[in-house]
Structure 1
Amino acid sequence: MPTSQDNDLTGLHAFDALAGRWTAQHRRLKERLANNNQWETFGGTFDFRLLMDGHANVDDSVFDMPGGRVHGIGLSAYDAKTGQWAIWGLDGRNPHAKLEPPLKGRFEKGVGTFYADDTLRGKPIRVRVVWSNLSSTTAHWEQSFSPDGGKTWETNWVTDFHRAP
């Protein structure tokens, strides 16, 4: 199976190594952009499928959060003209909510960096997601928020994935 880490895959094939079923170990801040340093940890699963000959993918995630099980879906699409991926998420706790603005970005040297503008508690923020260490057996994901247009970042969610047996 190809890997972004070993083959430095970019563009259309950057997410190929994620195809399949994974276990996930999540760690996230209890409160974001609130000078909080209390982290909570929880497990989950991640099922990832390539679609449209690799030009899109979908993930079905289960989060075994401290308050109960939550389901989520991620959808990504590749634009060959720009070389960028767009990533949308749907949260099972509020499935009829408007989809968030897509994160957009690309992989370079095996690391995918994606950005979006959003709001938190009514204030504008910048969101950054980084995928790294993608291989046939492991992957790493981090989410960070910036309240100042990207000058400073607070990492608030980290996930390590391991290929399910």
Structure 2
Amino acid sequence: MSSPHDFDFLHGAWEVANRRRTDFLDPDSGWEEFPATHWCRPLFDGAANIDEIDMPHLGAKGLTLRLFDQERKEWSLSWSSSRSGTLFPPVVGGFDGDRGEFHGDDTLPHSRIRSSGGTPISKDVRVRYVWADVSPASAHWEQAFSVDDGRTWVTNWSMDFSRSRPSAS
């Protein structure tokens, strides 16, 4: 059962190795890999947190707001990109041991799907985030999308977190 301290492992500074598909819906698309830096700060005595990830390779930063619903005993995770400045629809779920799974719905603009006029068409997707292999020194996160209501998934982004080393002064 989830608790307000499920994400305590994430507090602090991290180095992140990203691996992301070049097309989020195509299981045969290539991968790009790039580093990032990340920090997370607790709020509400651990029942909430906010983080920021800096991804110079993408020319963007991301922010996640996580809130623990005390009555439902579940987390909602809302992501925002510095490119849009808006919150994406949340994914909701929790942890069972050291594995967390969170689901939600979103609409993905898809550059390969076009109207007869040539403009990109959006595609409704089911979203899944998984946190696994959680420890004080490392963690793994991945994102997958489904276009068939969760029958099949395309894992399209993974992040391996490792604790940042203190800088020598």
What one-letter code is carried by the residue in structure 1 that aligns with 2:106? D
> Stretches of 4+ moved more than 3 A in 1?
none
Structure 1 position 109 matched with structure 2 position 101: no
Name 1:28's counterpart in structure 2: 20
Report the secondary structure of 2:78's partner residue: strand
Structure 1 residue 153: deviation in Å?
Answer: 0.2
Q: TM-score, normalised by structure 1?
A: 0.88
**Rounded Cα–Cα distance in structure 1 between residues aligned with 2:12 and 2:26:** 36
Q: Does structure 2 conserve the Cα–Cα contact (< 8 Å) formed by 1:10 and 1:110? A: no
CA RMSD of aligned residues (A): 1.3
What one-letter code is carried by the residue in structure 1 that aligns with 2:73? G
Q: Does structure 1 conserve the Cα–Cα contact (< 8 Å) formed by 2:2 and 2:74? A: no
Name 1:158's counterpart in structure 2: 158
**Aligned counterpart for 1:13 among listed residues 2, 5, 9:** 5
Structure 1 residue 86: deviation in Å?
Answer: 0.4
**Rounded Cα–Cα distance in structure 1 between residues aligned with 2:52 and 2:9:** 16
**Rounded Cα–Cα distance in structure 2 between residues aligned with 1:105 and 1:87:** 9
Q: Does structure 1 conserve the Cα–Cα contact (< 8 Å) formed by 2:17 and 2:161? A: yes
**Aligned counterpart for 1:75 among listed residues 65, 82, 91:** 65
Larger radius of gyration: 2
Name 1:86's counterpart in structure 2: 76
Structure 1 position 41 matched with structure 2 position 47: no
Which structure 2 residue ranges, 5 or more long, are not aligned? 110-121
Structure 1 residue 70: deviation in Å?
Answer: 1.2
Structure 1 position 52 matched with structure 2 position 82: no
Structure 1 residue 46: deviation in Å?
Answer: 0.8
Question: How many percent identity over aligned positions?
Answer: 39
Which structure 1 residue ranges, 5 or more long, are not aligned? 1-8
